Amino acid sequence: MDKSKPTWQTITNILIDNIKEVRLKNKAVNFWDDASLIQLRNAIKKENMGKEKLDDDALINVFAKEANKTKTKTKGVLKEVRKERVRQDALWGEQDNTAEEWMVILMEEVGEVCREIQDMTTTGKFDNYREELIQVAAVAVSAVECFDRQMKLYNKG
């Protein structure tokens, strides 16, 4: 029985096949599309060029580099959350709720996400899932802003 480390190609292929399998089983939003998986495989291959065995540190570095590429995507999502915060403030003004009230508001929004997940599971449609997630994030940000305002007042008193 060969106890040596598997080659980086073997590990990469297993990893990518598992990502695809999980993606298909969950019928989830396709975060790891085929192009991203090919890009990941090529990045790992480039980092380990000419090496027979998987270099753990190199693999971690590749994942870190690929993760940094998502920062641009994150900035776009955060802009959407900011836009939703502006919309919420326009509707309700600045909210100064208790922690318990924020929990109720946040859980109501999370419940809407759960409803969308159930709809996705039964119909296969992704109607408002993403929009509801943006609203959850915006409500959480609003709760943090409220907490920070309250702590500022508390510390002055």
Average pLDDT of the chain?
75
Q: Provide the residue range defining the domain that includes 144.
A: 72-156
Domain termination site, one of 20, 47, 69? 69
pLDDT of 7 > 80? The answer is: no
Domain count, the chain: 2
Provide CB contacts within 8 A for 7, sequence distance 6+: 52, 53, 54
Question: Is residue 3 situated within a structural domain?
Answer: no
- Is residue 44 within 8 A of residue 63, CB to CB? The reply is no
Indicate whether 125 pLDDT > 60: yes
Q: pLDDT above 90 covers what percent of the chain?
A: 38
Calculate mean pLDDT across residues 18-45: 55
Same domain as 15, residue 57: yes
Count CA atoms within 13 Å of residue 27 on its CB side.
10
Q: Is residue 29 part of a domain?
A: yes
Higher pLDDT: 58 or 135? It is: 135
Are 57 and 81 in a shared domain? no
Give the residue from 19, 70, 9 showing the smallest Cα distance to 41. 9
Reported as a single tens digit per residue, the pLDDT across 93-104 is: 999 999 999 999
Same domain, 53 and 107: no
Same domain, 41 and 89: no
Which of the pair, 24 or 84, is modelled with greater confidence? 84
Phi, psi dihedral angles at 16 (to 5 degrees): -65, -40
Residue 64 has pLDDT above 70, yes or no: no
